[in-house]
Amino acid sequence: MPTTPAQPRLRVAVFGAGSIGCHLGGMLAATAEVTLIGRPAAMAAIDADGLTLTGPGQARREIRDLTTADPKAAAGADYVLVTVKSADTAAAARELAPHLGPDTVVVSFQNGLRNPDVLRSALPSHRVVAGMVPYNVVRTGPAAFHQGSGGALMLAADEGANALADAAGASGLLLELRPDMPAVQAAKLLMNLNNALNALSGLPLREQVGQRAYRLCLARCQREALAAFRATGVTPAKLGPVAPGLMPHVLGLPDALFHRLAGASLRIDAAARSSMWEDLQRARPTEIDSLQGEIVALAERQGLTAPANARLITLVREAETAAPGTARYWSGPALLAELASAR
């Protein structure tokens, strides 16, 4: 009886394999042929020890034979997942361009609003698909990464995304195809405005978000963002139980009531922290320009101001340049007072 030939495994390269990239690549390795392309020292650690992934409700995964530090390794890939910081997107496209096959699909799994357009501009011959990662991943060792919160990946509902979506599902990754990715990206940016607050607090995410003063700081940032979005005709998608327009009000509720009404937002691993906190710990540039900076720029283009977001940019810049061990950690009340005085 004739047999059906096995389908070739999907070939996936992850360019900019840091915490998010290593997590995505490691998970996809269950069903796809994955290559991680990242900093030589980080890739050497994974070559030596293998990749270890942990997370809520997940069995520990240990994966080997994934890595290289050379962009040439993207040659022949069906998909290239771009996970570099926003400031590095244009450079990533230039490095990748000579090595991409004619049918390679490029997927932006990055923060901010503009990275897919940057990639499209730099790679006009290639299909570029916007994606969104809703959860937090932190490096817990040289080759170990921990997913600290939950949620489903999102990809633009594009024909080119279907094979990757199938591989993700088979690998145990939750993934949704969305027809409204610009609205999804706007909603993610609203949530990511907490990254700077978490980094400046020095606290785990769950502890920080559980304190009303920090939430009031986030509410200020979100109100400024929502005003800027309204002025440009953008309506952020509803990604959770609370509509984006209501989130500043919910964030300002007393702790006990907030815990009852928005308990899902606190279902975060006790050790989870924002990627910006990790950047400051490792003396790396942050993505503040693609988060608070995006809101300030958007507001200015509409003749508006975003003083709380602008002040956070200054505070994060100060933390970036502080000598190791000397950066200030802000209490919730102190940070709220600082933002309230911003003009």
Same domain, 199 and 144: no
Per the domain annotation, does 94 fall within a domain?
yes
Count of domains in the chain?
A: 2
Q: Is 126 exposed, middle or buried, given 0-12, 13-18 or 19+ CB atoms closer than 10 A?
A: buried
Per the domain annotation, does 2 fall within a domain?
no
The CA distance from 235 to 185, in Å, is 10
User: Residue 276 gets which letter from DSSP?
Assistant: H
Same domain, 93 and 80: yes
- If one counts every other C-beta atom within 10 angstroms of the C-beta of residue 40, the result is 12
Same domain, 154 and 24: yes
Per the domain annotation, does 136 fall within a domain?
yes
The CATH number assigned to the domain holding 331 equals 1.10.1040.10
Same domain, 88 and 192: no
Q: Which pLDDT belongs to residue 45?
A: 92
Q: Which pLDDT belongs to residue 61?
A: 87
Per the domain annotation, does 335 fall within a domain?
yes
The CA distance from 22 to 10, in Å, is 17
Same domain, 164 and 191: no
User: Residue 109 belongs to what H/E stretch?
Assistant: strand 105-109
At 119-146, the pLDDT tens digits run: 999 999 999 999 999 988 888 889 999 9
Same domain, 268 and 228: yes
Per the domain annotation, does 217 fall within a domain?
yes
Q: Which pLDDT belongs to residue 160?
A: 86
Same domain, 29 and 158: yes
Q: What contacts 24+ positions apart, CB below 8 Å, involve 296-300?
A: 298/225, 298/228, 298/229, 298/232, 299/224, 299/227, 299/228, 299/231
Same domain, 298 and 198: yes
The pair phi, psi for residue 139, each rounded to 5°, is: -75, 125
Residue span of the structural domain in which 291 resides: 184-340
Model confidence, pTM: 0.90
Same domain, 157 and 247: no
Q: Please, are residues 88 and 72 in contact by the beta-carbon 8 Å criterion?
A: no
Q: Please, are residues 33 and 66 in contact by the beta-carbon 8 Å criterion?
A: no
What is the DSSP annotation of 176-234? EEES-HHHHHHHHHHHHTHHHHHHHHTS-HHHHHTSHHHHHHHHHHHHHHHHHHHHHT-
Q: Which pLDDT belongs to residue 31?
A: 92
Per the domain annotation, does 195 fall within a domain?
yes
Q: Which pLDDT belongs to residue 316?
A: 97
Q: Please, are residues 296 and 313 in contact by the beta-carbon 8 Å criterion?
A: yes
At CA 328, angle to CA 336 and CA 208, rounded to 5?
50
Q: Which pLDDT belongs to residue 4?
A: 47
Structure tokens at 22: 């290593």
Whole-angstrom CA distances from 14 to 72, 80, 99 are 12, 6, 13
Same domain, 332 and 302: yes
Q: Please, are residues 295 and 306 in contact by the beta-carbon 8 Å criterion?
A: yes
Taking the CA atoms of residue 156, residue 160, residue 161 and residue 162 in that order, the dihedral angle to the nearest 10 degrees is 130
Q: Looking at 179, 207, 232, which one is the last position of a domain?
A: 179
Q: Which residues of the chain have pLDDT under 70?
A: 1-7, 57, 263-267
The CATH number assigned to the domain holding 152 equals 3.40.50.720
Per the domain annotation, does 146 fall within a domain?
yes
User: Residue 99 gets which letter from DSSP?
Assistant: G
Per the domain annotation, does 5 fall within a domain?
no
Q: Looking at 154, 179, 204, which one is the last position of a domain?
A: 179
Same domain, 104 and 216: no
Q: Which pLDDT belongs to residue 32?
A: 94
Same domain, 210 and 296: yes
Q: Looking at 134, 161, 179, which one is the last position of a domain?
A: 179
Whole-angstrom CA distances from 79 to 152, 220, 318 are 19, 39, 38
At CA 81, angle to CA 174 and CA 91, rounded to 5?
150
Structure tokens at 205: 């995410």
Q: Which pLDDT belongs to residue 5?
A: 47
